[in-house]
Amino acid sequence: MIEYSTDEDDRNFLQKYGWHFIILFITIYYLKRNVFMPILSERQRKQNYKQATDPQRVAMLQEQMIKVRLEQQRQAELKSNEAKEKKKLKKIQRLKETKVDQPLGKTNVGGGHRLGSGDDPGSSSTSNRNSSSSTSSYNPLMPSTGHVGPSYR
């Protein structure tokens, strides 16, 4: 017949050997963390490196990389060509919008007035600028110009 232990026997066993179990668990945890895990991780790292540098695998990956890069280059060229065409169309459209239609028979090729040259078609715009500089006007780089009142020089 099998005798079953009572609660008091279990309590006596834990009181007698409890610290031994605690020390045993702490030792196992310490050994696992500081001895076995570094060995296992180093072994795993070496195995991963060996698989990663396998010549067959590297050759296959190199071929795939070349295919992907060629596809990326093709797509970039397509986008570039599309952008060039859009830019060209925008430029043509902008020119059409800003183009002023001349009345028939009244084309001034080479003749006409320059902007800012005054009434005289023969005068240049630089002579007008020089003559206007003698009048008092404000120049932000020269604060003493164009002011009313005493100068501080």
Q: Which two tokens stand for residue 135?
A: 């009048």
Residue 142: φ, ψ to 5°: -125, 90
Per-residue model confidence as pLDDT tens digits over 9-61: 888 888 899 999 999 999 999 999 999 999 999 999 999 999 989 999 999 99
Per-residue model confidence as pLDDT tens digits over 65-116: 999 999 999 999 999 999 999 999 999 999 888 876 666 655 555 666 666 6
CA angle 126, 128, 131 (to 5 degrees): 110
The upper half-sphere exposure of residue 134, i.e. CA atoms within 13 Å in the direction of its Cβ, equals 4
| Dist. CA 133–CA 137, nearest whole Å | 7
113 contacts: CB under 8 Å, gap ≥ 6: 121
What's the pTM value of the predicted model, to 2 decimals?
0.38
Cα 141 versus chain centre, distance: 39
User: Distances from the Cα of 24 to the Cαs of 17, 18, 33, in angstroms?
Assistant: 11, 10, 14
Q: What are the residue ranges of helices labelled H in the chain?
A: 7-31, 37-52, 55-98, 125-132
